Amino acid sequence: MLKFPKNFYWGAATSSHQVEGGNNNDWSEWEKDNAERLAKEAGERWQKWQQEKFPEMFDTQNYISGRACDHYNRYEEDFDIAKSLGHNAHRFSVEWSRIEPEEGKFDEKEIEHYRKVIEALKKRGIEPFVTLWHWTLPVWLSKKGGVACRGFSVFFERYAEKMAGSLGDSVKFWLTINEPEIYALNAYNRGRWTPQKKGIFSFFKAMRSLIKAHRRAYKKIKNSSPYSFVGIVCNLSDFKSAEGFINAILKIFSERYWNHYFLRYVKNQIDCIGLNFYFHNRIDYGLNKNKNEVVSDVGWDLHPEGIENVLMNLKKYNKPIYITESGLADKEDKNRKWFIEKTIEAVAGAINQGADVRGYFHWSLLDNFEWDSGFWPRFGLVGINYETLERKIRPSALVYKKIIEENGL
């Protein structure tokens, strides 16, 4: 029996734009302009087996978030499900575009909505972990240049101060920014996401802006709630190298400039680290050559054991670690049970070696809108019928429930 520490947090995660529905932000605007293009490009982007299994990827409406899961209105129902599955913590994000729809003008009704969300969680004995920014921007801010604009860190600081001042009495855990490296990579280097910038220069410019924004937000939150835990959420990879000296050097370089770049600059402005883990990369002379023995519906190599290596590499920061996301797209639920058990086993291994891991959040509680992939990838412990919005608990969620009840595997 692999036992976990007393008071360990077990739960799942969501993000506002992906589940709430009815959002008006830079992403919802981008979807309208790009849905037709994304549907046409699906035949080139995805493999044949994926196209046959998920023909909805060719439907323009797949790429319009619309009402999503209607979690904005049905959050209590969803939290009842989470409670029934044994969860004692839940990670969600506040939608900046709802809070500050116009520059400098805060919507108190929307702040009250999130206060009710937090109250609903606490009423069920579920600890809220609040993410301030999960990639979507108010339209007014995107028009100014978004993350890359000169005043972004000041705007984010003001937003963080408002939220901490409004909700700080009921929130212990604040996570400022979700996956800055993934956002900067896809929005400012690859050009796949809004605002579709390309180039290594724009990538590092965005990263520097996000580092500055986190630092400012950290100070404001701590001033408002001195005893809160404020952290950052990073998407870190397990790097392995093929044989050879050059590959060993490339592995070290990859870890330094992917896993530790952001953390290195904010290590003195974090109380905890949020780890999102999805990727295993086997480096062979600069190329990623995974064996892909088991892959998810979106084609990602599934190597849950790798989380142990990443957790051990985070020990040097001497901060509590919360696994804020870990999951897979698996509509048929054929690999999720195995994935959860192997991940939990690896996390236990890291804890036994001294890693200060205090929580695990599966991605995701619900099937949701997966950005430029749309609705067809199914990450949820709970399946969503997007026509009827019916919720259906997947068998793997009950496996996870047993782990939670036993606080071990």
The predicted-structure confidence for 88-104, as pLDDT tens digits, reads as follows 999 999 999 999 999 99
Q: What is the pLDDT of residue 177?
A: 99
Average pLDDT value for the chain: 97
Condensed to tens digits (0 to 9), the pLDDT of residues 375-390 reads 999 999 999 999 999 9
Structure tokens at 51: 């196209």
Task: Please name the residue that has the structure tokens 């323009």.
Answer: 60
Task: Confirm if 107 and 100 have CB atoms less than 8 A apart.
Answer: yes
Asked if the model's pLDDT at residue 287 lies above 90, the reply is no
Residue 381 is classified by DSSP as S
CATH topology classification for 9-406: TIM Barrel (3.20.20)
Q: What is the pLDDT of residue 88?
A: 98
Where do the domains of the chain lie? Answer: 9-406
Structure tokens at 94: 């506040």
Condensed to tens digits (0 to 9), the pLDDT of residues 312-361 reads 999 999 999 999 999 999 999 999 999 999 999 999 999 999 999 999 99
User: Is the sign of the CA dihedral 27, 32, 36, 39 positive or negative?
Assistant: positive
Q: What is the pLDDT of residue 34?
A: 98
Condensed to tens digits (0 to 9), the pLDDT of residues 185-239 reads 999 999 999 999 999 999 999 999 999 999 999 999 999 999 999 999 999 999 9
Residues in the chain: 409
Peptide bond into 195 cis (omega under 30): yes
Task: Confirm if 342 and 304 have CB atoms less than 8 A apart.
Answer: yes
Q: Which residues of 17-32 are buried (b: 16+ CB within 10 A; e: fewer)?
A: bbbbbebebbbbebbe
Q: What is the pLDDT of residue 105?
A: 98
CA distance 202 to 209: 11
> Strand 287-288 vs strand 229-235: parallel, antiparallel, or unpaired?
unpaired
Cα 146 from chain centroid? 20
Average pLDDT over residues 242-261: 93
